[in-house]
Amino acid sequence: MNQFICALLCTSLFFIANLLPATACAATPITFEVLAERTHKPTLFTQGLLVDGDHFYESSGLYNQSLLVTYPIAEPAGTWAKISAPFTKKQVVPSRYFAEGLALLGDKLYLLTWQEQTLLVYDKATLNYQKSISYQGEGWGLTSDGKQLIRSDGSDTLYFHNTDTFAVIKTLKVSNDDLAVSKLNELEFAQGFIWANIWHDDRIVKIDPATGEVVGELNLSQLKHALALKNSEQVLNGIAWDEKRQAFWITGKNWPKMFLVRINH
């Protein structure tokens, strides 16, 4: 859709907004280049993904199957070795929990659960369980801006939490041209912005953390389509900022690959 038509449509939607579901027009496209790709274990139902140093940390969902794992960014040689390579560390999440978003702050990993209203806290170095904290609502995505934890719950609202008590400090509505942007899922805080996967969509939106306004979006449909995935739940859902490479690692639920994506400014 070109910008003129989009502007016309948005103007029309403004007058009949009460008659239609809120659907924002496309934000300013962000162009990107794929710098590299590597294998991703297709057994991982990716919910949270982050990079620390030379390792990935990833949470994998579903009841009775949830995991917290870490593995090196550098792959072992050979296709067989890549697929079968063991995790550096693996922690099985109790079967009653459906693991969701994952964030790192200091020496702790914070893991959301979907509907169990329980935040699980682990030691980063060992992946040993430390404690749990109750909260209200659903857990989808989680990230940290270095001071607070930021949670999504599948709506258009982001929740900023105290890191010690997980109490909600503030909420932020995410919108584009005054229309709500919902189904926010996996999150990543990088370069002063919040980046969010939209569930069952091939887009990642760039959110101004002060206003909630979507200031740009990445359309990654070409990456997903190249994988020729069979299952409709194999959605884009993994964003990890790699400080060393100044680029994002991108993957999805049960995807066989991860992509290193550098965005253009």
Q: Which residues here bind Ca ion, judged by CB under 5 A?
A: 49-50, 188, 239
Least Cβ distance, residue 166 to Ca ion (angstroms):
18
Residue with smallest beta-carbon separation from Ca ion: 188
For Ca ion, the closer CB: 141 or 212:
141
From residue 200, alpha-carbon distances to 154, 204, 246 in Å are: 11, 11, 27
For Ca ion, the closer CB: 143 or 234:
143
From residue 5, alpha-carbon distances to 2, 64, 76, 91, 202 in Å are: 6, 48, 49, 50, 22
Least Cβ distance, residue 212 to Ca ion (angstroms):
19
For Ca ion, the closer CB: 156 or 186:
186
Least Cβ distance, residue 46 to Ca ion (angstroms):
10
Print burial letters for 49-75: b (CB count within 10 Å at least 16), e (below 16): bbbeeebbbbbbbeeeebbbbbbebee
For Ca ion, the closer CB: 181 or 239:
239
Least Cβ distance, residue 102 to Ca ion (angstroms):
7
Q: Tell me the sheet residues that pair with 134.
A: 118
Least Cβ distance, residue 50 to Ca ion (angstroms):
5
For Ca ion, the closer CB: 176 or 237:
237
